[in-house]
Structure 1
Amino acid sequence: MKKLLFLCLAFIVSSLSAQADLSGIIINEETREPLAFVNITINHNTKTGVITDIDGMFTIKQNEKINTITCSYLGFESKTLQISGHNYLRISLSPKEDQLEEVILSAKNPAHAIIEKVIAKREENNPNNIKSFQYTSYNKTIFDFVATDKETDSVMNSVFKGGHLTVMESVTQKKFIAPNLSEETVIGNKVSGFKNPYFATLATDMQPFSFYDENIKLLEIPFLNPISNGALKKYEFRLTETLYKGEDKIHLISFKPIPNKNFEGLKGVLYINTNNYALQNVIAEPANGLKMDLKIQQQYQFLENKYWFPEQLNYELQVHTVSEDGDILKVNGKSYINEVDFNSEIKKKEFSALSVKIEEQAAKRDSLFWTQYRVDPLRNKEAITYQVMDSLGEKYKFDRILSYMEKLPQGRIPVKFIDIDLTKTFIYNQFEGYRLGTGLYTNEKLFKDTSLGGFFGYGLQDNRWKYGLEAKHIINRENEFFIKTSYQNNVKEIGSYGLPISNQIFGGLRDFMASKMDHLQQYKIETGFRIFKYLKVNVSGQQDKISPLGNYGFETPVFIPNDYQHTAASVRLRYAFREKLIQTPHQNVSLGTSYPVFTLNYTKGFDNILEGELDYQKIEFRVEQDFFLRNFGETSYRLQAGYINKVLPNGLMFTGEGSYDPDILFLIENTFQTQTPYEFLSQEYVDLFLSHNFGSLLFKKGDFNPEIIIHHNFGWGNLDDHTLNFKTKKNIYLEAGLQLGRLVKINYFNMGYFSINAGAFYRYGAYHLDSFDDNFTFKIGLGFSFN
């Protein structure tokens, strides 16, 4: 009986031993970093094997005895290992010293037939074309400083106690309805050194959700997708290996731009599964390199026997510092997608205006929460990072820096419970000269939803004091619902009572040219809110006492007094389809949209109400857009028009579209470059500003890759009162320009380039000036790019 018991026990133990899984990790022998998507063949049988995941991990089910495994990876030496009783392996592969040899294409490249099938199935396999889905993702981003000399490395280890520079984690839940409804909610976020790190989820936006769009945007640069239509004429493909997984094959195809093809291209490897010819894995990076090195990796899984869906997303960003030792700042971000659901009913009314929301408790999650969502436990080096950086963050007030980062885009700097308004602090124009003053407003540290404050300033050239008071209360932060009342004693440029020329918070360089002003005493009340997801509404009422200052250069109608009372109500509508809004603790931040943005402004003036003297109606309309055309570049346009039903004081009319000033040579977008600011006066007008940026498609030689940009601007205007001495654009105003961007590039800490642009514009047509030279103007501009 005992012998039988021992025999049974021995059989069970041997069975368990035989069926134990073989797992491990494969790393780069030189960098010691994991290698994603390494092919592992079992017992020299090319039809059996596995592929490592994004973390370089693998698991092999031992359905049969494993004697050997062979690891192969593009650009690395293959390695075969004998398996003898080990259940966990740590394998290192050595990079090949020689580069891939030039591919000699036969009459029929076998990779082309495969790529053609992938392109044909691209829309079908694109996860963004699935009717609806929702999922949960765990995201982790690690920042490291890699020192190349021992002394610096020793100092860094001493400061950070052997930890990373920074660790960022977030957990998000996303829901989606095709084709464009998307909302991601951050339910947990954590950044070493910070208590309220709302920016943690933004670190995952370095790459697209999938690799199926016509263009893959990396660092705001659109790269032509190697599986887009027409890619076979742009890219060189090479079938490097074919793997087997059950009844399916996995084709490994390397790709890179065909030599002497001038376009923004990628290079890397596609793992194509013959099951519907879908992408199973992707490795890609810019072919020509950027100032920063960026590589992305994506892994897909086949779900519900129907959909190929992203499972793991990874990116690696390297910034070579400007130190002589060649130190590197390295950023590695990973996203793990799970709990994917295609079947639950998602209703459109569930979506808010926000693309990314942050739960109020997201930064306060406890260890049980993170244990639940982390893909693997926190590593020792990561735990050290939290301990060290949290201590440093407390000591050096890192969250104060975060507060500055949030406020600066609003033009403000927080100092305890007061915000300093920079837009009221740094003011210059040709009427006032320099204005000395500032604006001070209470912030959320004093009153959570209410701000009280004002501004004051003195113009050194016009010798006038300006001042104002304001009270604002936020009713609903998510829908941007507020009410505000204000008073100001100020000056205001003529022609600027409607839609602003610039969308920038500081008004742009055009404000420097303002030389014709009205003195303004104004009482105003306004409210604003967002409805229907993409529509923003502002309603206001105001009572003004307006006094023209100096000679406009226009003749004023005799029936209009120099000083006048102006009472008006306005409604402004702004519609931006698919605008991406990110929620931060105290505001919503727009990341823009690739679709047209429409703005409509209606103003009604009243007489005999609150002492108003002008009964009129004024309508302004604007549509603007920037969009990318594959293999052609980026087009920008702004079409705007205005109408007033009667002649008004000159300050309320339309003027100021020009930006020519011999003392200010900067190119100012959406203005006429060859037209002086107040050259024309209009009661009704239509303007079109059109430009196209070819990028470096037309010319590129080594590192010299200037952007070639063409401009063409059109304008028309009219005024009913023909007895006055003024100019109108009753004929079409025309100008054209040629601009060279990135003409001079200045390295910015090896992260990108500040660039100097130059352009020439020519005025022609009905308003061509007598002297040929007077029709030309030269403009310069500044920019920033990663390439």
Structure 2
Amino acid sequence: MKYFCFLVLLFSFTIQAQMQINGIVKDGNSNKALPFATISFDNNQSTITDVDGKFSIQLKANNPDFKVSYHGYAPEINITTKSVVFYPIYLYPLVGAANDTKKNNASTATAIIKKAIAQKDNNNPKSKLKSFEFKSYNKIIVSAHPDSLVSKVDSIFIAKKDGLVFKKIDSTKFKFKEAIDAHHLFLTEKVSQFQFKDKSLKETILGTKMAGLKQPIYEVIGFNLQSFSVYDNKYELFETKYKSPLSRNACASYDYNLLDSTTVSGRDTYMIHFKNRKKSKTSGLEGVLYIDKNTYAVAKAVMRIKGVLDISGTHEFEYVPEDKLWFPVSKKFKIVKGKNDDDIKILGGTIQFDGDFEDNLSTREKQPSDFVYLSSHTDNFDFRFNQPVTVKKSFISIEIKDNALNKPTTFWTKFRKDPLDVREEKTYTALDTFFHKKRLESKIRFGRKVINGYLPLSFFDMDLRKLIRYNNYEGFRLGFGGVTNERFSKTFKIDAYAAYGTKDGAFKYHLGSAVRVGKFSNSWIGASYTDDLREIASSTFAIDKIPFKIYDPRPINISTFYNYTSWATYIQTAIIPRTESIWELSRSTIMPKFDYAYNLNGRLYNNYQMTTAKVSLQWNPFSDYMQTPSGRIEIEKRFPKFTFQITQSLPKILDNDFEFTKFDFKTEYEKKYLNGQKTNLLFQGGYALGDVPLTHLYNISPNNITKETVIQRITFAGKNSFETMYFNEFFSSEYAFFQFKHSLNRVKLFSKIKPSLVLVSRMAWGNLDKQEQHVGLNYKTLNKGYFESGIEFNQIINGLGLTAFYRYGPNQLPKFEDNLAIKLSFVLNIGL
């Protein structure tokens, strides 16, 4: 009996030691929340309120007293924690001093920040130290607080003429609560070594594991949740960059307020609240900087964004006396649901927040996803400063060692700061069992292949893009093709396809093979033979990856092609940092499938031979790359991106008929906003020198058919094509093309109709040399420019949408309706 009483007593102590209290701090007069007020307990624990004035803390002692303080307000002291778990606390401004205090605090805070900015180079580890390295342990959890959830079974009714009729039992909430009580929804861990030298920081992952998966999802591992440094001019939070409160001109964008003075690691610091001056919904960063009173370095930082997602990042530092430096020792990151109208999926759907779009939000019943959160915690250790550091392949931001995926238990025991708790241990067990039972790892592999346009069939991946297509020349193009996969060989591959056109009655085919000669650089040497069709004057880059589309709308309307039979050999490699390139040598026979001849020195060429050398290179200087055991991944696609291509004919080699050179260039820029909007910019140009037949010039991607009325011209819109430009209307030997797109938030028209609104403008200029040498087609040139603008209403019903474009400027046509193009659009949302 005494042992039972002892266990009960011990259990009660455990409950008390883990007691969590929550509260909110408000202005007693205005009832407005006081962000970043200080809550101090007499057991030396402390916390601050968030931007909504709320706080939450796990207490280590039994019922400690605490006080709440805020500059310009009378403090609330000697509050005793009891069985109450939520404390509404009201502070009152000091009589007659509130405005003066606020003004003085702001002035003092701004002066402190200016000194901190001036001392950045002396305090930033990446500027002050020549080199450093350390290890880190990171754990990411997707979960929910069990106490926040209601366990119940709902009855679903549907409306009929006679009233509500029972349809089914919905046990979603009950099952969710049951699962969350036992384990988390997702858990991953990693141990890394960070090395800094020559202004470059590289992460080498020594060990990683992800609950349920033998091979982790590398994109999740490489996801950048928050910046390493708080001193950079741009601070990154959840892959969105904001102007840092310590950037060179930050005082013009932020308001600062001195909250309090406190100690961090035994040193006196200022607590300074900062807030972006913008009043929009996505107003930028807000948070608190703890500034060392002596060195004006950052001793702690709290960054917060509140919008469609509520995101917070905390940086903890430790003072290193011998180097007179505050160095980061830990990071915390958390995402919870904000106010979002549409469903939001992040980390590839690992975490989802349901939208709030209801007619009356106050009556909306909370769903399980409303309580889901993502939490990341990183601890740094084993520091070495200004000692010799060797950083191999520094252009790779993250490298995963080949043996990182199968680390023993002793490895994790050694590097975890705290052992896994019972709930975390059960997460591994539960998800391993669940993934194995549902064969989810195989389904993930299957899904990855399908998203990229392939259907895995044992050792062969069937290319879904080859099955069926349609155009005005071939009619229905029926085919089959694909490539051998990693189960066949990781160092050798064979690709092939065959197709038949129902209208032209001709077969087309391709056969190629390649061998890998470099694993790290993903270098392949290959050769191929192709007998197929291609659109005339199409502006293509060999290095471009062809995206998988269920349908490809633009080729449907094309009727002018040329046949090419080609032998080619190539090298494909990523050996140059932050690039991918193809180096190709080919010999082709070209046969136009329309009435055309090229006049060269009085001879008309209806078909001709071309022997060419081509270099096609894509350079992504601002992107970050991860090297994995299975290849290199672009984990952070940053813009702008640049694509270059040079094509040179080789005179007097293998009966080459023409001498020419082509230069092609493309750059893309994309900016995503946290409120869901997005801006895309595209600039593309080409320049051809020498004798170049029409088949290999430029047509600037027209997508309008020659029909009498607007209704007859309704087809599907393309992605980057001129919707009002008629096929074969313009040709150029040199051109420049610019496109602007801005995607707005979805607009609710009716209960289930919420189209995505996109504003689009396109313009192009061009010229055609040696016009007299092109015999056959009638065409115009673009030397006066071409302009069109329009609007897209995408995803109105089941992915279908409607677009409208108008042509204006020097090439505007006399009839209004001839300048107007109305098209259908189709957008497949697969949650990526």
SS in 1 for 2:465: helix
5+ residue gaps in structure 1?
Answer: 1-22, 61-65, 83-88, 697-703, 749-753
SS in 1 for 2:374: strand
C-alpha separation between the residues in 2 aligned to 1:59 and 1:275? 32
C-alpha separation between the residues in 1 aligned to 2:651 and 2:112? 70
Distance 1:613 1:516, change over 3 A: same
Matched, 1:96 2:88: yes
Conserved 8 A contact 2:402-2:628: no
Match of 2:116 in 1: 121
Post-superposition Cα deviations, 1:407-449, rounded to whole Å, max 9, x if no partner, equal 3564323333221223323544443344333323221112122
- How many angstroms does 1:566 deviate by? 2.8
- How many angstroms does 1:59 deviate by? 9.3
Distance 1:306 1:721, change over 3 A: same
Q: Normalising by structure 2, what TM-score?
A: 0.74
Give the counterpart letter for 1:714 in structure 2.
A
Match of 2:750 in 1: none
Conserved 8 A contact 1:198-1:584: no
Match of 2:691 in 1: 646
Matches within 5 A, 1:322-721: 325-328=366-369, 329-346=372-389, 350-408=392-450, 410-425=452-467, 427-496=469-538, 498-499=540-541, 504-506=546-548, 510-551=554-595, 559-591=603-635, 594=638, 596-606=640-650, 609-610=653-654, 612-626=655-669, 636-648=681-693, 650-660=694-704, 662-664=713-715, 666=717, 668-669=719-720, 671-683=721-733, 685-691=734-740, 693=742, 711=761, 713-721=763-771
Conserved 8 A contact 1:450-1:474: yes
Matched, 1:313 2:331: yes
- How many angstroms does 1:361 deviate by? 1.1
C-alpha separation between the residues in 2 aligned to 1:38 and 1:379? 32
RMSD, matched Cα: 4.7
SS in 1 for 2:659: strand
Post-superposition Cα deviations, 1:720-756, rounded to whole Å, max 9, x if no partner, equal 143646435362313253658xx789899xxxxx997
Distance 1:400 1:235, change over 3 A: same
Match of 2:191 in 1: 171
C-alpha separation between the residues in 2 aligned to 1:267 and 1:506? 40
Conserved 8 A contact 2:802-2:822: no
Identity of aligned residues (%): 21
5+ residue gaps in structure 2?
Answer: 1-15, 25-34, 50-54, 154-171, 337-351, 356-363, 706-712, 746-753
Give the counterpart letter for 1:155 in structure 2.
K
SS in 2 for 1:589: strand
Conserved 8 A contact 1:224-1:630: no
Conserved 8 A contact 1:50-1:58: no
Give the counterpart letter for 2:735 in structure 1.
V
C-alpha separation between the residues in 2 aligned to 1:281 and 1:119? 17
C-alpha separation between the residues in 2 aligned to 1:277 and 1:92? 40
Match of 2:66 in 1: 70
Comparing 316-325 with 638-647, greater Cα deviation is found at: 316-325
SS in 1 for 2:702: coil
Task: Give the alignment partner of residue 270 of structure 2, picking from 251, 254, 278.
Answer: 251
Match of 2:4 in 1: none
SS in 2 for 1:615: coil
C-alpha separation between the residues in 1 aligned to 2:824 and 2:228? 38
- How many angstroms does 1:715 deviate by? 1.4
Match of 1:8 in 2: none
C-alpha separation between the residues in 1 aligned to 2:436 and 2:802? 43
SS in 2 for 1:205: coil
- How many angstroms does 1:369 deviate by? 0.7
Distance 1:583 1:516, change over 3 A: farther
Distance 1:161 1:92, change over 3 A: closer
Conserved 8 A contact 1:138-1:335: yes
Task: Give the alignment partner of residue 260 of structure 2, picking from 241, 252, 261.
Answer: 241
Post-superposition Cα deviations, 1:666-686, rounded to whole Å, max 9, x if no partner, equal 3633x4454334322233x13
Give the counterpart letter for 1:626 in structure 2.
Y
Matched, 1:148 2:150: yes
Conserved 8 A contact 2:702-2:722: yes
Distance 1:679 1:301, change over 3 A: farther
SS in 1 for 2:434: helix
Post-superposition Cα deviations, 1:124-171, rounded to whole Å, max 9, x if no partner, equal 345554544332221111122565334556534666881222211111
Conserved 8 A contact 1:243-1:251: yes
Match of 2:27 in 1: none
C-alpha separation between the residues in 2 aligned to 1:538 and 1:549? 28
Distance 1:338 1:115, change over 3 A: farther
Distance 1:560 1:38, change over 3 A: farther
C-alpha separation between the residues in 1 aligned to 2:288 and 2:265? 22
Give the counterpart letter for 1:732 in structure 2.
K
SS in 1 for 2:212: coil
Distance 1:166 1:203, change over 3 A: farther
The number of residue pairs the alignment matches comes to: 721
Comparing 328-337 with 219-228, greater Cα deviation is found at: 219-228
C-alpha separation between the residues in 2 aligned to 1:222 and 1:746? 31
Match of 2:226 in 1: 207
- How many angstroms does 1:383 deviate by? 1.1
Give the counterpart letter for 1:680 in structure 2.
F
Match of 1:11 in 2: none
C-alpha separation between the residues in 1 aligned to 2:795 and 2:241? 20
Task: Give the alignment partner of residue 211 of structure 2, picking from 177, 180, 192.
Answer: 192
Distance 1:281 1:532, change over 3 A: same
Distance 1:185 1:243, change over 3 A: same
Match of 2:345 in 1: none
Give the counterpart letter for 1:455 in structure 2.
Y
Distance 1:432 1:67, change over 3 A: closer
Distance 1:67 1:676, change over 3 A: closer
Post-superposition Cα deviations, 1:68-115, rounded to whole Å, max 9, x if no partner, equal 76365999x978588xxxxxx9999635377999x9865835135324
- How many angstroms does 1:570 deviate by? 1.8
Conserved 8 A contact 1:136-1:173: yes
C-alpha separation between the residues in 2 aligned to 1:389 and 1:138? 21
C-alpha separation between the residues in 2 aligned to 1:527 and 1:619? 20
C-alpha separation between the residues in 2 aligned to 1:461 and 1:738? 34
Conserved 8 A contact 1:37-1:56: no
C-alpha separation between the residues in 2 aligned to 1:514 and 1:592? 36
C-alpha separation between the residues in 1 aligned to 2:714 and 2:373? 44
- How many angstroms does 1:189 deviate by? 1.0
Distance 1:37 1:254, change over 3 A: closer
Match of 2:10 in 1: none
Distance 1:654 1:583, change over 3 A: same
Post-superposition Cα deviations, 1:447-502, rounded to whole Å, max 9, x if no partner, equal 12211232223334444332222212222122121111222222111223752697
- How many angstroms does 1:529 deviate by? 1.9
C-alpha separation between the residues in 1 aligned to 2:289 and 2:797? 33
Post-superposition Cα deviations, 1:603-625, rounded to whole Å, max 9, x if no partner, equal 23346544x34232322231414
Match of 1:20 in 2: none
Comparing 317-326 with 529-538, greater Cα deviation is found at: 317-326
Distance 1:242 1:407, change over 3 A: same
